[in-house]
Amino acid sequence: MLESATSGRLSKDFQPVSYQIDLTVLPENQSFSGRVLIDIHISASSNYLSLHSLDLKIAYADLISSESPDFKAMNAEITINPSSETIQLVFPKEIPEGKASIALDFS
């Protein structure tokens, strides 16, 4: 497991720029679900990143690079780290430096 996932600290190589959140709240069921699109700036390429996820169930994570014409959307393998209250998103290849977006479905 990578250091940022075990320490609970998030990588400084991935800086959020903006968030777009679509949230559905069902008070009668005491539940919610949603989708978030996070625009990020990547300062060092990597094939993983960690995010805080206390009390969230992440069903799907996808990454889209907006600067690399050769880069296609990639689905992430999601690893839950309860002790650090984070999830680790591992991608099949390195994410290049520059702008990208992460899409997450959660409940």
Convert the pLDDT of each residue in 24-79 to its tens digit: 999 999 999 999 999 999 999 889 888 888 888 999 999 987 677 666 788 999 99
pTM to 2 decimals?
0.82
Please count the other Cβ atoms lying within 10 Å of the Cβ belonging to residue 74: 17
Task: Name the average pLDDT for the chain.
Answer: 85
∠ CA 44-6-34, nearest 5°, is: 75
- Please report which helix (H) or strand (E) contains residue 101, including its range: strand 98-106
Residue appearing with tokens 């069902």: 26
